[in-house]
Amino acid sequence: MTTRRAQVVGQPHAQRQFLEGIHIVADLLAPTLGPLGGHVAGSTNANTKYELFDDAGTVVRRLLSLGTPQADIGAMLMRNMVWRLQQRFGDGGTTAAVLARALTVRGARLQAAGINAMELARGLQVATTAAVAALRAQTQPLAGEVDLARLAYAVTGDRALSAVLGELRALLGPEGHVQIEKLVAPYLERRYIAGAHFKAQIASMYFYTDTAQRHAVLTAPAIALVDEPLQSAEAAVALMEAALTRGAKALLILAPEISGPALHLLVTNQQAPADKRKLLLLGARLAASVGERSAQFTDIGVLTGAALLGQGRLRSVRSVRPDDLGTAVRVELAREALTLFAHESFSATIRAEAASVQTRLTTMALNDEERPVLTRRLATLTGGIGELKIGAHSELERTLLFDKATRALHVLTAAQRGGVVAGGGAAFVHALPALRDLPLQGDQAAGAALLAACLDAPLRQIAHNAGVDAPRLIAQRVADAGAPAAFDAYTHALVDGPACGVVDATEVVIGILVNAVGCAHMALTTDTIVYHRAPEQSMNP
């Protein structure tokens, strides 16, 4: 009986095996690049329906194995790079794959000619830093809804959908949350819901101001946040007296539970005749897990100025002071959804907290378990939610529309935050002058020359997919014209990119460059590969 051992592969075989998988993935994705690129069709087996994809992230996630470890090593490297770009920016995976392949192939030739791999990599990193600075220098801000719609069209190729996406992002801002709903018939519509939103359950039907519609509305209410079950009448009385002392005419109480004598007292007050009732009341509990409820209490405190009351907090409920209560312009509760409209006076505090959450998201790993919670918090703090409803006759069409809209929203968010550059790979070409006079010598200079030789690869691929016979000539014409010139794949003409809507989000372009260089760096500087006997396959790249 023989035991299979792990296989160890060194140079030159290691690099060849990296290149095999890199070529396969790049060949698969490259024909889809640009507005005139195609789609990728695939199925899990011969008995299932084919799926049609036009985004690189979904395509590579379907690649669990190419059949041999030797091909998988490079393919999985590309898969990881493309999927992470998809997760962070929603786009750019195909461009990164084309650029990474060009860098790896040309870099391997330089190494075969005697260039030191580590010196080559150091020069490549220095050149990348210079190129990133050049890309930022080319950046132009987005002027408004029209520019956003143009950028969305560059991602989706659908003018009607792009117009709606441009409007959504223009009105909601880069942090605004957009929910996408798929319908089973051709449809395209949007709806806006103002305010901060929380799932909540009313403590008693007697708190509804409109029982028939199961709807409660409070205008200019005081807000009490209670981090423990509210059960005693004394605690309820303390909250009501604090609200009256503030001069409030309404009071919202949010607690994990409102029951017993406290609920009885509150309901009795609510049922009193309007001329004798001193406070309009609404009691509810947030429908969230303990951990998420804590985050929601924090956000409501930021939005309203309310302090959290209870054992172990600043003050107990019975010791509540009027300034422990928060306030809001308006509060609504309907269909187990609490909507809160914050006062302008809290704007500075809200912006500061939103910036803090955004910073945490920027530095957080894409697969961090806390990321979805922070994303929802950011939507809550920035205020306003958009609903996008899209539909088509077939499930395949609906899925394509959904994927296009999702990708475009990611790109528009990045563009609103960091501006845009000439699109279609033109910005990379315009960064070339920044690489000419770098203070590098020997093999490090070869690394800078490597990046300079490959930066036009995405533009050449787009021109090729558009049917151009001499893609390299197009790249040269764009370089000669200078920023912000771009290649229009539809007309084969050179245009002013930002003026004509041929643009890419700067942060996406920089992300593409950095990730592509990182992928090539790994392939070019790895000397030894260890193949395990039974490697695990994972849907998560």
pTM for the whole structure = 0.69
Q: Is 448 exposed, middle or buried (0-12, 13-18, 19+ CB in 10 A)?
A: buried
**Would the pLDDT of 373 be above 60?**
yes
Please state, in angstroms and rounded to a whole number, the distance separating the CA atoms of residues 237 and 259: 14
- pLDDT, position 537: 59
Q: Confirm if 429 and 455 have CB atoms less than 8 A apart.
A: yes
Phi, psi of 421 (to 5 degrees): -130, 170
The SS3 call for residue 340 is strand
Q: Residue type for 460, please? A: R
- pLDDT, position 35: 83
Q: Confirm if 497 and 423 have CB atoms less than 8 A apart.
A: yes
Q: Are residues 227 and 176 in the same domain?
A: no
Please state, in angstroms and rounded to a whole number, the distance separating the CA atoms of residues 200 and 219: 18
- pLDDT, position 224: 96
Which of 116-130, 302-316, 516-530 is predicted least confidently? Answer: 516-530
Q: Are residues 203 and 98 in the same domain?
A: no
> Cis ω on the peptide bond leading into residue 12 (within 30° of 0)?
yes
Q: Are residues 106 and 26 in the same domain?
A: yes
Q: Are residues 346 and 477 in the same domain?
A: no
Last residue of a domain, one of 392, 418, 444: 418
For residue 332, tell me if it sits in a domain. Answer: yes
**Would the pLDDT of 535 be above 70?**
no
| 190-203 average pLDDT score | 85
The SS3 call for residue 153 is helix
Q: Are residues 398 and 449 in the same domain?
A: no
Q: Are residues 188 and 309 in the same domain?
A: no
Run of H or E including 24: helix 13-29
- pLDDT, position 47: 59
Please state, in angstroms and rounded to a whole number, the distance separating the CA atoms of residues 44 and 50: 8
| 186-195 average pLDDT score | 83
For residue 536, tell me if it sits in a domain. Answer: no
For residue 374, tell me if it sits in a domain. Answer: no
Please state, in angstroms and rounded to a whole number, the distance separating the CA atoms of residues 185 and 515: 39
- How far CA 159 is from CA of 183, 227, 280, 405, 441, in Å, comes to 19, 49, 49, 12, 49
Q: Are residues 209 and 245 in the same domain?
A: yes
> Cis ω on the peptide bond leading into residue 174 (within 30° of 0)?
no
Rounded to an integer, what is the distance from CA 236 to the centroid of its chain? 43
For residue 152, tell me if it sits in a domain. Answer: yes
| 25-41 average pLDDT score | 83
- pLDDT, position 1: 37
For residue 462, tell me if it sits in a domain. Answer: yes
Q: Are residues 296 and 331 in the same domain?
A: yes
Residue-range definition of the domain harbouring residue 22: 7-140+421-531
Query: CA torsion angle for 110, 116, 121, 127 (degrees, to 10)?
Result: -70
For residue 371, tell me if it sits in a domain. Answer: no
CATH number (domain holding residue 389): 3.30.260.10
User: Which are the contacts of 146, defined by CB distance < 8 A and separation ≥ 6?
Assistant: 166
For residue 99, tell me if it sits in a domain. Answer: yes
Higher-confidence residue of 515 and 363: namely 515
- Per-residue pLDDT tens digits for 91-111: 889 999 999 999 999 999 999
For tokens 């809001």, what's the residue? 328
Please state, in angstroms and rounded to a whole number, the distance separating the CA atoms of residues 337 and 196: 10
Please state, in angstroms and rounded to a whole number, the distance separating the CA atoms of residues 315 and 242: 13
Please state, in angstroms and rounded to a whole number, the distance separating the CA atoms of residues 30 and 95: 8
- Per-residue pLDDT tens digits for 51-73: 666 677 777 777 777 777 777 78
- Per-residue pLDDT tens digits for 170-189: 878 776 778 888 998 899 99
For residue 364, tell me if it sits in a domain. Answer: no
The number of distinct structural domains making up the chain is 3
**Would the pLDDT of 45 be above 70?**
no
Last residue of a domain, one of 418, 443, 462: 418
Which of 187-201, 236-250, 330-344 is predicted least confidently? Answer: 187-201
- How much is the mean pLDDT over the chain? 87
CATH number (domain holding residue 82): 1.10.560.10
- pLDDT, position 3: 45
Last residue of a domain, one of 393, 418, 443: 418
Q: Are residues 398 and 451 in the same domain?
A: no
Percent of the chain beyond pLDDT 70? 91
Q: Are residues 136 and 33 in the same domain?
A: yes
> Cis ω on the peptide bond leading into residue 229 (within 30° of 0)?
no
Closest CA to 131 of 463, 522, 487, 512: 512
User: Which are the contacts of 222, defined by CB distance < 8 A and separation ≥ 6?
Assistant: 242, 243, 246, 248, 250, 251, 252, 325, 326, 327
Strands 280-286 vs 250-254: parallel, antiparallel or unpaired: parallel
CATH number (domain holding residue 311): 3.50.7.10
Q: Are residues 183 and 212 in the same domain?
A: no
Give the pLDDT band of residue 531 (cuts 50, 70, 90): low
Quote the Cα angle for 434-440-444, to 5°.
Answer: 105
- pLDDT, position 6: 59
Q: Are residues 41 and 187 in the same domain?
A: no
Ordered strands of the 187-193 beta sheet: 177-183, 385-391, 187-193
For tokens 């990348």, what's the residue? 128
148: its two tokens: 């956003």
Run of H or E including 390: strand 385-391
Burial letters 87-101, b for 16+ CB under 10 A, else e: ebbbbbbbbbbbbbb
Closest CA to 207 of 157, 152, 165, 263: 263
User: Which are the contacts of 534, defined by CB distance < 8 A and separation ≥ 6?
Assistant: none
Name the DSSP class of 432: G
**Would the pLDDT of 530 be above 90?**
no
